């Protein structure tokens, strides 16, 4: 065999080997894409879907005034808290300070979660919550014990947690923020108003009213208007309610009006007189807020509180375009990602420290 034929044979073998490698890589890529597609659950909106992942802005310079954000961290919902905080932090260049209210026995676990994410670069304070402050203010009925979570009342005591702040944003832990929190913080509150909420009858949230839920968007859905104490207030039963899962607070005005004391007074009266509506037995946080802030609150942009995500036939009716345009999404509903009704905290049991679905 001549040298020329040997060289040609070698080139042919190299070409064949190259084609085999390319073919295998294409097969691996195809398998990868197929796996990615099968992992996506069609038709169900989850905060861990790619559309909801916040762009990483690690190392971004934080400028301007501090923006206090108050959020609670229950032991069983730490994944949700981390996801919510990540979405706030990575969608803003503002000087955000997280004020995380939690129980003493959860603090160490929370610090571990924070250390495993980009939030270790963020400013945050861990504030212990003492449940004893609620003594005499919530029912001790053992049948209601599972529905009464002490941390849900933390929002009532914000001036105690951040005494030097003049203004703050409160967020429930089951939210994903897609806009710059500075915009929400800059909400204009009218003179004499201590807080701004999103009304349940606004153009965005009205799309999410759960069918068959009755008057959950009116005061009568939360308060018993047959009780004398409620009648004496002169409130109209069909007044549009608001959702306190997201709000902006003027803490200077809050302290001036002694809002916390007013809320505690109505909590104590409910224990004695059972003033809340039976149609929403598990809603013990909203009623006192509705009373205290009746026609005395400002409004936030409805797109900063798009709720009922996960509600059967409600949040799932939102179009993809509407969801992407929303500044804040609230998963205060239920959905069936694994063939059963699951709460938001159930979902985050499946998540890693970064709040991403695993």
pLDDT in tens, 18-35: 555 555 554 444 443 333
Distances (CA, A) of 65 to 95, 111, 169, 196, 235: 6, 25, 14, 20, 38
**Domain assignments of the chain as residue spans, ordered by start:** 50-348
β partners of residue 175? 330
| Three-state SS at 297 | coil
Percentage helix, strand, coil for the chain under 3-state DSSP, each rounded to 5? 45, 15, 40
What is the token pair recorded at 321? 């375009």
* Interstrand relation of 242-250 and 195-199 (parallel, antiparallel or unpaired): antiparallel
Distance, in Å, from the CA atom of 86 to the CA atom of 55, rounded to the nearest integer, reads 10
For residue 168, give the DSSP letter.
E
Residue 87 has pLDDT above 50, yes or no: yes
**Ordered strands of the 63-73 beta sheet:** 123-128, 94-102, 63-73, 167-171, 242-250, 195-199, 298-299
Is residue 270 within 8 A of residue 278, CB to CB? The reply is no
**Which one is the CATH code of 50-348: 3.90.550.10, 2.40.50.840, 3.20.20.370, 3.90.220.20?**
3.90.550.10
pLDDT in tens, 105-163: 999 999 999 998 889 889 999 999 999 999 999 987 655 656 678 999 999 999 999 99
């Amino acid at each position: 065999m001549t040298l020329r034929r040997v060289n040609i044979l070698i080139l042919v073998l190299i070409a064949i080997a190259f084609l085999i490698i390319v073919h295998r890589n294409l097969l691996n890529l195809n398998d990868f894409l197929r796996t990615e597609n099968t992992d996506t659950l069609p038709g169900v909106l989850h905060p861990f879907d790619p559309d909801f992942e916040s762009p990483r802005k690690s190392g971004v310079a934080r400028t301007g005034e501090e923006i206090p954000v108050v959020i609670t961290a229950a032991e069983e919902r730490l994944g949700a808290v981390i996801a919510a905080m990540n979405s706030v932090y990575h969608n803003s260049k503002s000087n955000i300070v997280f004020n995380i209210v939690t129980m003493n026995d959860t603090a160490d676990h929370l610090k571990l979660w924070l250390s495993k994410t980009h939030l270790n670069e963020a400013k945050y304070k861990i504030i212990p919550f003492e449940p004893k402050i609620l003594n005499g203010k919530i029912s001790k009925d053992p049948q209601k014990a599972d529905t009464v979570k002490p941390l849900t009342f933390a929002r009532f005591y914000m001036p105690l947690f951040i005494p030097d702040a003049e203004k703050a944003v409160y967020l429930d832990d089951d939210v994903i923020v897609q806009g710059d929190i500075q915009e929400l913080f800059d909400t204009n509150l009218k003179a004499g108003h201590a807080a701004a909420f999103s009304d349940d009858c606004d153009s965005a949230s009205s799309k999410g009213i759960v069918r068959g839920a009755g008057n959950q968007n009116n005061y009568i859905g939360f308060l018993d208007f047959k009780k004398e104490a409620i009648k004496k207030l002169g409130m109209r039963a069909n007044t549009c309610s608001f959702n306190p899962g997201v709000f902006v607070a003027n803490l200077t005005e809050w302290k001036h009006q002694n809002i916390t004391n007013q809320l505690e007074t109505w909590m104590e009266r409910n224990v004695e007189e059972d003033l809340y509506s039976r149609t929403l037995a598990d809603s013990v946080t909203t009623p006192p807020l509705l009373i205290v802030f009746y026609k005395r609150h400002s409004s936030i942009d409805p797109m900063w509180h798009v709720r009922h995500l996960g509600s059967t036939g409600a949040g799932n009716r939102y179009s993809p375009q509407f969801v992407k345009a929303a500044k804040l999404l609230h998963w205060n509903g239920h959905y069936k990602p694994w063939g059963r009704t699951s709460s938001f905290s159930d979902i985050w049991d499946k998540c890693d420290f970064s709040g991403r679905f695993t």
